[in-house]
């Protein structure tokens, strides 16, 4: 049986985008997400989790313990039925089994078989009820290091959609890009919550692997060139931790080294870790 993690972790991931849209906002005609008060770019936690899920699905295809719960065209009730079928229990609409042990077994089956449930948690209280799980790994919104200036680019297409448009010379379209931006994502991993879902040391290593490599398997013309640049991990020597996350995050600083010129490359930044600000009992790991 896999060993669940015994340490608390926080992590900071720096990733960048070049001539692409890292995370379109459906409320703003799919333009890059932006903080309207400061013009700093945003990338949602859901966006990053999607890329992690896709990477794990590619790497662990057909491995039972690494199925992905939230995936394209997945019917969640059908995913839930797998647990009831495994234990030969007939589901009751919107209710867990009355037997406490059976109810716990149903929820644990979902944790054991679906990587993203034991990692991020899930609300499975649908018509086929499998309970609710709070995941040990949580992410906030990523934020760019500088304000971004989204551009709306007009593109042309030589083909037409309908015969009635044959006389047109070409049709027009639009795409939105950020010329360049470096984003900072911060995450948290709870060992006590890992005990409840079964999030293991092997799962943790897979998470680091996904954070480093996820963009290389998520290419599209819309997203431009996206890359993970730096991954810093704070490992506590205890389950509950040895320092507030805010103190650890503040120890990682970023400085522009090109003056007031527009940033167009990762080398325009200098990232440093202030070692004397790291409390005892916390180890800093640079995984990328």
For the ranges 65-69, 258-262, 265-269, which has the lowest average pLDDT?
258-262
Whether the per-residue pLDDT at 169 is higher than 80: the answer is no
Residue 215 to residues 220, 251, 273, Cα–Cα distance (Å): 10, 26, 25
Q: What is the predicted pLDDT for the residue at 160?
A: 72
H helices of 60-181, where?
76-86, 100-113, 115-120
Q: What is the mean pLDDT of residues 171-193?
A: 92
CB-CB contact of 202 with 60 (8 Å): no
Q: Predicted confidence band at 166 (pLDDT cuts at 50, 70, 90)?
A: low
CB distance 225 to 219 below 8 Å: no
Kindly report, residue by residue over 215-266, the tens digit of the pLDDT.
999 999 889 999 999 999 999 999 999 999 999 999 999 999 987 888 999 9
pTM here is 0.91
Domains in the chain: boundaries:
9-164+173-286
The pLDDT, as a whole number, for residue 157 is: 74
The predicted structure's pLDDT at residue 13: 98
User: What does the DSSP 8-state code read for residue 180?
Assistant: E
User: Residue 1 pLDDT > 70, yes or no?
Assistant: no
162 Cα distance to chain centroid? 39
Q: pLDDT digit string (tens) for 35-58?
A: 999 999 999 999 999 999 999 999
Query: What's residue 39's pLDDT?
Result: 95
Q: Are 74 and 216 in contact (CB under 8 A)?
A: no
- Residue range 118-139: mean pLDDT, rounded: 96
**Cα distance from N-terminal residue to C-terminal residue, the chain:** 29
**pLDDT, averaged across the chain:** 92
d(CA 235, CA 113): 27
């Amino acid at each position: 049986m896999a060993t669940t993690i015994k340490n608390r972790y926080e992590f900071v991931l720096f990733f960048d985008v070049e001539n692409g849209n890292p995370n379109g906002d459906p409320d703003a005609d799919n333009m890059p997400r932006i903080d309207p008060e400061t013009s700093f770019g945003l990338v949602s936690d859901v966006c990053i989790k999607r890329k992690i899920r896709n990477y794990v699905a590619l790497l662990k295809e057909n491995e039972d313990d690494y199925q992905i719960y939230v995936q394209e065209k997945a019917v969640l009730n059908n995913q839930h039925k797998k647990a009831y079928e495994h234990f030969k229990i007939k589901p009751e609409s919107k209710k867990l089994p009355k037997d406490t042990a059976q109810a716990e077994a149903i929820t644990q089956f979902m944790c054991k078989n679906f990587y993203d449930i034991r990692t991020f948690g899930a609300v499975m209280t649908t018509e086929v009820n499998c309970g609710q799980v709070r995941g040990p790994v949580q992410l906030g919104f990523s934020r760019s290091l500088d304000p971004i200036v989204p551009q709306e680019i007009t593109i042309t297409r030589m083909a037409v959609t309908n015969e009635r448009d044959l006389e047109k010379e070409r049709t027009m379209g639009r795409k939105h890009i950020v010329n360049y931006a470096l984003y900072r994502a911060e995450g948290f991993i709870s060992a006590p919550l890992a005990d409840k879902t079964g999030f293991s040391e092997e799962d943790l290593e897979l998470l680091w692997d996904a954070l480093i490599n996820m963009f290389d398997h998520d290419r599209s013309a819309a997203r431009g060139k996206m890359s993970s640049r730096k991954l810093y991990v704070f490992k506590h020597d205890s389950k509950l931790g040895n320092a507030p996350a805010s103190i650890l995050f503040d120890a990682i600083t970023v400085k522009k080294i090109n003056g007031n010129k527009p940033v167009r490359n990762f080398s325009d930044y200098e990232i440093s870790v202030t070692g004397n600000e790291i409390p005892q009992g916390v180890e800093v790991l640079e995984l990328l």
